[in-house]
Amino acid sequence: MPASSDSSSTSEVASATVSYNRRDLIVYALGVGCTDLRHVYEGADDFAAFPLFPAVLLHKGTSFDVVDFPSPTLLRLASSGLALPGARALLDAERYIERVRDVPSAEGAHTLTYQSRLLGVVPKRNGALIHTAGELFDGGGALLYRMRASAYALGATGV
């Protein structure tokens, strides 16, 4: 998969494979309270993933079963190149998601690649603010989504 040409990249790219099927799309849509048939009924002529669905793909990775939190996929990406001594908890601070193309919603399992990079770490009085960027690609290398996230590492020192 091509790495982003975004000039704000400050670290190496870490990759993860994620998979899903139509059932995952429907369960997610129902879980967020969607009642629009195009997101909750696979027989709809315009069936499609709920637009925010890709934000949860790292939580499931390639498993089609229940996974622990944090998932092995999240742990692998989080541990790639970043040491946070003293961190007691990681708190979600902010998310941004941009849909470039819809994720595939045809019958069967779909496998995508998520690439993530560290943009920066900002020391704070009681921890550190971590900024990351990621991109989601289909099997042919086409960009589907861009995502940015910030998290607060409570108690992190020496960053």
Per-residue pLDDT, averaged over 1-25, amounts to 70
Residue 23 pLDDT class (50, 70, 90 cuts): very high
Q: Could you tell me if 105 and 124 are in contact, meaning their C-beta atoms sit under 8 angstroms apart?
A: no
Is residue 4's pLDDT more than 50? no
Query: What pTM does this model have?
Result: 0.81
Write out the H or E segment, with its range, that includes residue 85.
Answer: none
Confidence (pLDDT) at 79: 56
Separation CA 96–CA 43 (nearest Å): 30
Rounded to whole angstroms, the Cα distance separating 73 from 75 reads 5
DSSP 3-state of 117 = strand
- pLDDT, tens only, 80-126: 667 777 878 778 889 999 999 999 988 888 999 999 998 988 999 89
Percent helix, strand and coil across the chain, each to the nearest 5: 20, 35, 45
